[in-house]
Structure 1
Amino acid sequence: MSETPRYRVAVRALCDFTAREGDLDHRFTPAPSAEDGIAGHAEIARRGGEGVEREVPLRGVIEELSVSGRADGYDPAANCLEEVKTHRGTLARMADNQRALHWAQAKAYGALLCAERDLPAVTLALVYLEVGSGRETRLEQRFEAAELSDFLASLCRRYRAWAEQEAGHRERRDSALRGLAFPHADFRPGQRELAEGVYKAAATGRCLLTQAPTGIGKTLGTLFPLLAAMPRHALDRMAFLTMKTPGRALALEALRQLGAESGAEKSAGTVAELGDESRIEEPQRLPLRVLELIAREKVCEYPGRACHGEACPLAAGFYDRLPAARQAAVTRGWLDREALRQVAGEHGVCPYYLGQELARWCDVAIGDVNHWFDANALLHGLAKTNRWRIGLLVDEAHNLVERARGMYSAELDQRRLARVRRSAPPALARPLGRLARQWQTLVKEAGFAEAGEKGRPAYRVLDGLPDAMVGALQGAASAITDTLVEHPESASPELQELLFEALAFTRLAETFGDHSLCDLARHGRGKAVLGLRNLVPADYLAPRFRAARCAVLFSATLAPPGYHRDLLGLPAETVWQSVASPFAAEQLEVRLRTDISTRLRDREASVAPIVAELAGQVRRHPGNYLAFFSSFAYLERARVAFAEAHPSIPVWAQVRGMGEPERDAFLARFATGGAGIGFAVLGGAFAEGIDLPGERLIGAFIATLGLPPFDDFNETLKARLQARFGCGDDYAYRIPGLIKVVQAAGRVIRGPADRGTVVLMDDRFARREVLTRLPEWWRLPGTTVSFESPTDTTRP
C-alpha cells in the first residue's frame, strides 16, 4: 500500500463506481426506509453481544487513494467483520448484481481492516435483516489478507484514472473561471449591482434575497458572478433551480453566452432577457460541465415499461455500458436534454438514469427546485453525502413558498381505496377493510352525513391528526408492502398509488406540528379527501439552506423580505437587496378604477363596467392586451359579455388544463401589429414567466386584488401565521395577492423601449396599505414608500 495519497474516496462511493455490473433494476420492490435501515443496524448490534466493535472507522492509502469508511461491526474474538443490509421479503428475490456489490463493500472494508490491524486473514459476513419479520440471514466467507488487498487495489486502480481525470478537470475549470469575463461590452442598468450582491453572498457564505426588475438580465447577472466565485471560494458545484421550463432555457442560454457550449449558436428567442445581442462578443470556451435535469416521464424512451432488464432494453446491461457512456458524457461537457439523450442513445443506456449518475460529476446542474428542496431531493442528498460546497441560484423565488408547501403536503382519496378494495388480493381484505371503516368514522365525526352532495364540497379543518386513521393507514401500508414483496405480480398501478399516498401521509404525520394542518373535504358520498397540508415550509427548508455554502433567491417580486425570510426559514443573517428599476414612470401608464368592486358578491354588477373599460382602452390605443381575472368562472362571464357587446374586437381565452401546444397557440395570438384581448387567470400560466416584448403586448387589465378566498383553510392559515409571526392578514392574504398583481403587470414593460398601460380594477386599490406595496417606480398618487427601501440591506 502506498503512503502518499493524492485523492480521497469513500468505500461506498468507490464500490458504487467500480463494482456495479449487470442490469438496472428499478421495478417496484418496496425497500426499507432510512429509518428502517437505522433500526435494523441497531437490532443487529443489540443481538451481537459484548465485545463486538460497532461503527469501526477504517482508513488506508492504496494506489495513491485515501480510502475510508465505517464497517458495521467487528468481532475480534471470532475475527469476523460484518456488513449489515436491511431488506423486505424473500432474500432470493435480490438481484445477483446487488449481492455482488454488497460483497465488494465487505471485501473493501476487510482489506482495510487487515492492513490496519496486521491480520493475515479475516472472515467476512453479509448480515441481511428482513425488517418486517426480524429474520436474520448470515452469509460468511473467509478471505486471506493478500486476496483482499489485491481486490481493493484493483478497484482503486480503476478509480484512480477517473480521480486523476476529475482533478485535471477541476484545475482547468477553476483556471478558466478565474479569467471569466462578462460576455457583453457593459452591464445593463442594475445588472452590475445584482452581480456584485451575488458575488458577495458567495464570498461570505450567506443567503441573499434580491429583488431585481424584469429586463435587466437577472439570469446572466446571477450566473456570471457565482461562476466567477467558484475558484476563489472553493465551490465544488452550482445549482440553478427553476420553477418552470422557461427558466431552464434562459439559464442554458446564459451559459452558452459565457462559452460553456463549444460552437453554440446564440438563441434568438431569449436574447431580450439576457442582454443586447448586438453587444455579444465571441464567447470564451469554458471547460464547464453543464447538466439539465429532466423529470423521468419526460425523457423515458419506453413509456409504460418497468425500469428493469426484463422489460426495458435500456435497463438490460445498464451498468456494463455505463462507464463508457459516463466517460463520453463528461468529455462532451454540455448535457442539455437533447445532448444527454444523444449520448444515452449512442451507448444504449437510459437517459434519465444516466442524468442521475452525471449529477455527481457536473459543475452546474440546472433543474427544478425539487432537486434541492424536496424531501428526497437528488442534489441535496449528493451534496450531503459528498460534503460539497455548493452555491444555489433560485429563480422566480417568489413561488418557492407555495411550491415548498406542496412538497411537504399529502392527500388521501377515499375513492382510490374503494377501487383498490374491489380488486385487491385476499390477503389485504382485513387491513383495507379496517382502513375503510376508519374513513367512515372520520366522515361521520366531521358531520358530513348529508353535506357535500351538491355544489361546493363540504370542508372541515380538523383539530389535529386523526390518530386512529393514521394507525389504520400504517397497518394498510405495511400489509400492501409485504404483499407486493412476496407477490410482485399483484402490483397494479392503483394499488401502488394507494401505497405511495399512504407512505407519504404517514411519514409527514411523524413530523406533524403547528407548521401544518389536517383537513377533510367531502365531494359526495364516498368521495372524501383527507389532507395533511403544510402552512409554514420554513421548518423543512431551513436545514436545506444551511447545507449550502450560499444561496441567492431572486425575482422581480420578493418584497417584503420578512415574508420570505420567515416562511422559507432563511438564516437570520440573510441579506436583502433591492435593485432599482431601470424603467421610468413615463413608460407605464397606471390607472386605477376604484369605482369597481370585484368581490364575489359584486361580480355580476362589475362585468358591465369592466367590459366598457376594456373596449374603451383598445379603441383609444389599439394593440394586444391581457385581461386577468380571479377565476375561470369570472373570466368566462366577462369574456362572453365582451364578445357580445364588441364582436369586432378579437378575444381569446385561457381554459383549464391547457397543454403546451395550447399555451403556445394562446401566446402566438400576441403578434406584432395585432389588436385584441387575451383573457387569463391571475396566478396562472400567463400571469408570469412569459415574455411578449415590444408591440406584442401593450397593456394589461387586472380585475382582482389577487387575494386568496376567505375560506376555512385560509382563515386557519391566517390564525397560524398571526400566532407565529404576528402578520396573519399580510402573510395569508395581502402579500401573496399583490405579488400576483405585480407579476401580471410586469408582463407589459419588458425592455427599455417598451411603452404600455396597466389598469387596476378594484376599489381596494385605493387603500394606502395596498398602494404603498405597489412598485415605487410606478409613482402612483398617495404612495411615498414601497415594500422596502431599495437601499435597505438589513433584516427589517
Structure 2
Amino acid sequence: MDSAPSPQDTAAEPSYTVAVRALCAFTARSGDLDRRFAPTPSAEEGVRGHAALVARRSASYRRELPLEGRWGPLRVRGRADGWDEAAGRLEEIKTFRGRLDTQPAGERRLHWAQLKVYGALLCAERGLRTIELALVYYDIDRGEETCFHERHDAAALQHEFEQQCAAFLAWAQAEAAHRQQRDAALDALPFPMPAFRDGQRALSVAVWRSAQRGQVLMAQAPTGIGKTLGVLFPLLKALPARGVSPGLDKLYVLTAKTPGRAIALDALRRLQPPSGGAEPALRVLELVARETACEYPGRACHGEDCPLARGFWDRLPAARAAAVAEPGGVLDAATLRRVGLAHTVCPYHLAQELLPWVDAVVGDYNHWFDSGGMLYARTTEEGWRVAVAVDEAHNLVERARSMYSASLDALELRAARRTIARPLAAPLRRLERVLARVPEPAPERVPERPAGGAAPPAAYRAFDALPDGLSEALHAALAALTQAMLEAPAAQPEPAALALPLDVPADAPERVDAAQRLRELGYTLGAWLRLAERFGAHSMFEVDASRSGAGVVAPGVRYGLRNLVPGPHLASRWSAAVTTVLFSATLRPEAWHADLLGLPAARLAQVDVPAPFAATQLRVQVAQQLSTRWRDRARSLPALVDLMAAQWRAEPGNYLAFFSSHDYLQQAHAAFTAAHPDVPVWAQSRAMPEPERAAFLARFVPAGRGIGFAVLGGAFGEGIDLVGDRLIGAFIATLGLPSVSPVLEAMRERIDAQFPGRGDDYVGLYPGLQRVVQAAGRVIRGPEDRGILVFMDDRYASARVRALLPSWWPQPTLLRR
C-alpha cells in the first residue's frame, strides 16, 4: 500500500466512482449480523432531526459539506453532515429511536468508518494535520443528542482510507470486467427458441422500443404466446451500453406469486448466454421472503441467538465469492441455501448482500413497490439504472393497495399496554384515547345465530380525515414500545413486564410469544406512522366494530388505514426505473390500471398483442335464464347445477367451475353432489395447503372426467396450465363482483369522487371481469386446444359486458329455457 498512488498523485480521469456510504458498507463491516427490532426514523423524520440539531450549532457551522477525493482510478465522494470551522470539528449525525446503549457494535463501527473517510477527505483537501471527529446520535422522540468525539491524525486516516480504496477497487475492476463480458455476450445473444411464436415477436419489438425510449409500457398479450420470454429477451438485449447510452445495470423481474418466480427463473436460464470464460455471463438472483429462507424460525437475527448471524460479516466475502462462481449463473433459493450453510451464513441475508454482484433479480412485487422495498431502496441509494418487468400485472392494483394499508386491533393494543412496564404504557393509553375519539357505531345486540347462519350487520364507518393528534400519538407509542422491547430484565420495574427483548432463549416459549407480539405491534405502529404522514384522498380511515361475540358485538374495535388509489405512493417507483414493462393477458380497460397505478402519462406506451387463437377453437354459451345476483342465488342454484350436469353428460371430460366466493362455492358443491352424485367432483378449500393444491390439479389427467370447483381470483384462476384434454371447459357463475358491503360502498364513493362516474366500474365491474377472463383463459392454452365456456349469468348477454371480454372470442350462444 505504501507505494500505491494517493488521491492527489494521479491526473488521469477516474474510471470508478463510489459514495462514501457504499465504500464503507463494502469494506468496514465486521462481526455479527444484528437485525434486532429497532424501528428507524423515516427519511422525512431524519431530515427534520438533522435540521433540529443543526439549529443548535454556531454561526460558523456548515452543514452538508461536499467532499471528494481520488485514489488511483477511484473517485470517492459524499457529503459530511456538518463542519464547525471555528472548533475544527467534523460531525456525522445519526437519528434514532429507542436506547442507544442497545445499538449493535457493528453499526457503531460502520458509522465511525464513514466519519473517518470524511475526515481523511477533508484533511487532504485543506492540508490539516489533525482533526476532531464527532459521531452525534440524535433521539428524534426526545430531542436529545449524544456525542462521541475523538481526535485523529491525518496520516493515519489517509492510510486507512487507502486500504479501503484498494479493497473496493479490486472488486470494482473485477465487476467492470464482468460487465464487459456480460454486455458482449448479451449483444450476441440469439432468441433461445427456433422461432418466435405468433404475437411473441410483436411483443418483443414493443418492449425493446420502450426500453430504448425510457417508457412505461402496458403490454397486454394473450396466454400461450410465451409472454415471459417475449419480455425478458428484449430487456436483456437492452442492458449493454450502446453509443451515447450508458446501458442498464440490472433487470428486476417482479411476480405476484411463487409459480411466477419459477417461470421467470426458467426463462432466464434459457436466456443465459455463452460466457466464453470461467464464470457465467449473466448472474441471476432469486429473492424470497424471510419466513421462507429462515433456517432458525423463532430466533432473532443477531449473533447471540442465531449461529448463522454470528460472525456473518467476517464470513460473507468467502460466501459471496462462492455464490458468484456458481456454474449456471442462477442463484435460486436452493443454491443460496446450499452456499450459505456451507459458509455458515444466513441464506436470506446473503441474497441481499449479493445485489451489487448480480445482473438480474427475480422476486415478489413488494421488493420494489412496497414502502420498505429493498430493491427500490438499494437502487436509489446506489444510483443503479434498472429495467423492471412486472409479470401478471393485473394483480398489482390490489397488491399495491395492501402494501399501503394497515390495520390495528384495539384489543391487541390494550393487551400490549398491559404487557409492558407501567411508566411506558402511558403513550399506548394515549393512542387508545386518540383512536377512541372517532365516532363509532354503538355495539348492537343481536340474537344468537345458528352455526352457518348469516353474520350480524356490520358496524362500520369510513372517514376522509385522521383523528386529531394521531401522528403525535403514534410517535410517542412507537418510542415507548421500542424502549420496552430493548429494556434489560433488571430494568423492568414490574413483574408483569416483558422479561427479555428479542434474544429469548428457546426454552422460554411464553417469553418468545410476548416478544413476538410486541415486535409485530411495533411493525404495525411503524407502518401506521408512515401512512399517517402521507394520508390523503387516496386513502380512508376506518372504524370497524363488527366483531361479534356470543350474541353481542364485542367491545374490540379494528381501526384501518385503507389505500384506495396506490398511484401517489408508486410515483417514485415509475421514475426510479429507466423503463418498466407491465405485462399480462388482462390489462383492460387500460385507463383503469393507468388511473389507479398512477402511470406517468408522458412516458406511457401501450401494446395489445392479438391472440394467435382462432374463434373456432372456443365455444361460448350464456345461460341468459340464470341470475346469480346475490338476491337470486338460492333460487337459481338448482337450475345452475342441472345446467352443469347436462353439459358434462353431453360432452364428458374435465371441467373447472368458478364461483365468486368460498361460501358460494360450498353451496353449489353441496347442491351439485346432492342432485348429481354420479358425476365426479372435487373442490378447493379455504387456505388450501400446497400438497392439497397439487392433489387438486393432479385430478386433471388426460382424458379424465370430472368437475373441479374453484374460486375466481384464487389459486386455480390463473397461472396453471392444463393443456389438451386435461381441461375441456369451464363454468363461470357471477361477474366476479365482490360482495356488497359497507367497505365496498365507501371505496366506491371515494373513487367516484376522484374519477367521476367510474366508481362502480373501478371497484366492481372491471376487477370482477378481470378475474373472469383469467379463469376462462385456463381453457385455451395452445394452438391445438379446443374447449367450451359456459357463463351462468344473464348479464353476460349484455353488449357492455361482452365488450370487455377478449375480442377473439366468438359470439356467444344464448341458452334459453
Normalised TM-score (structure 1): 0.92
Query: Within 5 A, what are the aligned runs for 1:364-383?
Result: 364-383=360-379
Q: Is the 8 A contact 1:690 1:747 kept in 2?
A: yes
Seen in structure 2, the aligned counterparts of structure 1 residues 302 and 406 have a Cα distance that, compared at 3 Å, is same
Residue of 413, 416, 427 corresponding to 1:420: 416
Among residues 309, 314, 329, which one is paired with 2:308 in the alignment? 314
**Equivalent of 1:238, from 236, 251, 265?**
251
Name the residue aligned to 1:583: 613
Q: CA deviation at 1:430?
A: 2.9
Q: Does 1:86 align with 2:95?
A: yes
Letter paired with 2:141 = G
Output the CA distance in 2 between the equivalents of 1:36 and 1:54. 17
Q: Separation in 1 of the partners of 2:659 and 2:578? A: 41
Query: Does the CA-based 8 Å contact 1:425-1:490 persist in structure 2?
Result: no
Residues in 2 aligned to 1:182 and 1:315: alpha-carbon distance in whole angstroms: 42
The amino acid across from 2:235 in the alignment is L
Contact 1:9 1:65 in 2 (8 A): yes
Distance of 2:89 and 2:333 partners within structure 1:
48
Name the aligned partner's letter for residue 582 of structure 1.
P
Q: Does residue 648 of structure 1 match 2:644?
A: no
Deviations 1:271-325 (A, max 9, x none): xxxxxxxxxxxxx995001000000000111111110001011000000001111
Question: Alignment partner for residue 572 of structure 1, among 601, 617, 640?
Answer: 601
Aligned mates of 2:383, 2:733 — CA distance in 1: 49
Partner of 1:446: 440
Provide the secondary structure at the position in 1 that maps to 2:239: helix
Q: 2:157 aligns with which of 148, 152, 162?
A: 148
Between the aligned partners of 2:37 and 2:558, the Cα distance in structure 1 is 26
Q: CA deviation at 1:607?
A: 0.9
Matched to 1:244, the amino acid is K
- For residue 494 of structure 1, give the secondary structure of its aligned residue in structure 2: helix
Residues 344/260 of structure 1: CA separation in 2 closer, same or farther (3 Å cut): farther
3-state SS of 2:408 partner: strand
Specify which of 564, 580, 605 is matched with residue 551 of structure 1: 580
Which one of 518, 524, 529 corresponds to residue 506 of structure 1?
A: 529
Q: Match for residue 607 of structure 1?
A: 637
* Structure 1 position 422, deviation (Å): 3.9
Q: Distance in 2 between matches of 1:693 and 1:317?
A: 50
- The change in CA–CA distance for 1:116 and 1:317 in structure 2 (over 3 A counts) is same
Does residue 475 of structure 2 align to residue 462 of structure 1?
no
The reply on whether 1:706 has 2:707 as its aligned counterpart is no
Aligned mates of 2:428, 2:16 — CA distance in 1: 54
Match of 1:502, SS? helix
- Of 722, 733, 742, the match for 2:764: 733
Shift of 1:528: 1.7
Partner of 1:675: 705
For 1:661-700, list aligned pairs within 5 A. Answer: 661-700=691-730
Query: CA–CA distance in 1 between the matches of 2:262 and 2:122?
Result: 50
Is residue 123 from structure 1 mapped to residue 120 from structure 2 by the alignment? no
Shift of the 685–781 alpha-carbon distance from structure 1 to 2, 3 Å rule, reads: closer
* Match runs of 1:516-555 below 5 Å: 516-522=539-545, 523=547, 524-555=553-584
- Alpha-carbon deviation of 1:630? 1.4
Matched to 1:709, the amino acid is S
Asked if the contact 1:72/1:83 (under 8 Å) is kept, the reply is yes
User: Pick from 241, 255, 266: which aligns with 1:253?
Assistant: 266
Given the alignment of the two structures, is residue 769 of structure 1 paired with residue 797 of structure 2, yes or no? no
Q: How many residues align?
A: 761
How far did 1:438 drift? 4.8
Name the CA distance, whole Å, in 2 between partners of 1:349 and 1:305: 15
Corresponding position: 1:301 with 2:295 = yes
Residues 171/512 of structure 1: CA separation in 2 closer, same or farther (3 Å cut): same
Q: Contact 1:251–1:366 at 8 Å: present in 2 too?
A: yes
Q: C-alpha offsets along residues 387-432 of structure 1, whole Å, 9 cap, x if unaligned?
A: 1111010000011000000010010112212332443322234333
Determine which of 747, 750, 754 is the counterpart of 1:724. 754
Separation in structure 1 between the aligned mates of residue 232 and residue 280 of structure 2, nearest angstrom: 14
Per the alignment, do residues 144 and 77 of structure 1 end up closer, same or farther by CA in structure 2, a change over 3 Å counting? same
AA at the equivalent of 2:405: S
Deviation at 1:732, TM superposition (A): 1.7
- Matched with 2:646 is 616
Deviation at 1:463, TM superposition (A): 4.7
Match of 2:511 in 1: none
User: After the TM superposition, which residues 271-310 of structure 1 pair with which residues of structure 2 at under 5 Å, given as runs?
Assistant: 287-310=281-304
Residue pair 1:427, 1:483 contacting (<8 A) in 2 also: no
Out of 513-522 and 738-747, give the one that drifted further: 513-522
| Amino acid of the structure 1 residue aligned with 2:267 | A
The Cα of 1:613 is off from its aligned counterpart by: 1.2
CA displacement at 1:103 relative to structure 2: 1.7
CA distance change for structure 1 residues 577 and 285 in 2, over 3 Å: closer, same or farther?
A: farther
1:545-588: CA deviations, max 9, x gaps? 11110000000000111111111111113111100000111111
Residue pair 2:420, 2:484 contacting (<8 A) in 1 also: no
Q: 1:413–1:150: structure 2 CA closer, same or farther, 3 Å change rule?
A: same
Residues of 2 paired with 1:324 and 1:218: CA distance? Answer: 38
Q: Is the 8 A contact 1:261 1:285 kept in 2?
A: no
What amino acid maps onto 1:659 in structure 2? P
**What's the CA shift for 1:717?**
2.2
Q: In the TM superposition, what whole-angstrom CA distance separates every residue of 1:212-259 from its partner, at most 9, and x where no partner exists?
A: 000000000001011011114501111000000111111111111123
Q: Secondary structure at the match of 1:48?
A: coil
Distance in 2 between residues matched to 1:648 and 1:89, nearest whole Å:
66
CA distance in 1, matches of 2:113, 2:464: 52
Counterpart of 2:520 in 1: which secondary structure?
helix
Seen in structure 2, the aligned counterparts of structure 1 residues 484 and 547 have a Cα distance that, compared at 3 Å, is same
Structure 2 distance, partners of 1:61, 1:304, is: 46
Query: 2-side partners of 1:773 and 1:29: how far apart?
Result: 49
Shift of 1:673: 2.1
Is contact 2:22–2:382 with CA below 8 Å preserved after alignment?
A: no
Q: How does 1:7-46 map to 2 (within 5 A)?
A: 7-46=16-55
- Tell whether the 8 Å contact from 2:136 to 2:148 is kept in structure 1 after alignment: yes
- How many angstroms apart in 1 are the aligned matches of 2:187 and 2:683? 50
Shift of 1:592: 0.5
Give ranges in structure 1 of 5+ residues lacking alignment: 264-283, 784-796
| Secondary structure, aligned partner of 1:778 | coil
Q: Distance in 1 between matches of 2:226 and 2:166?
A: 46
Relative to structure 1, the CA distance from residue 89 to residue 777 in structure 2 (aligned partners, 3 Å threshold; closer, same or farther) is closer
Give how far 1:130 is off: 2.7
- Where do residues 119-268 of structure 1 align in structure 2 (5 Å cutoff)? 119-231=128-240, 232=242, 233=245, 234-259=247-272
Distance 1:504 1:89, change over 3 A: closer
Q: Secondary structure at the match of 1:230?
A: coil
Given that 1:701 and 1:761 are in contact with CA atoms closer than 8 Å, whether structure 2 keeps it comes out as yes
1:436–1:103 distance in 2 versus 1, CA, 3 Å = closer
For the residues of structure 2 that align with 1:158 and 1:347, how far apart are their CA atoms? 21
Aligned CA distance change for structure 1 residues 369 and 774 (closer, same or farther; 3 Å)? same
The offset of 1:749, in angstroms, is: 0.6
Query: Cα distance, 1:453 vs. partner?
Result: 8.1
Q: Which residue of 2 aligns with 1:348?
A: 344
Correspondence for 1:64: 73
Which deviates further from its counterpart, 306-315 or 636-645?
636-645
Amino acid at match of 1:126: L
- Within 1, Cα distance between the matches of 2:252 and 2:530? 27
1:1-46 deviation per Cα after TM superposition (whole angstroms, max 9, x unaligned): 2423221111111111001000001122343333332223222211
Question: Which region of structure 1 is more displaced relative to structure 2, 224-233 or 284-293?
Answer: 284-293
Query: Is the 1:209–1:552 Cα contact (8 Å) retained in structure 2?
Result: yes
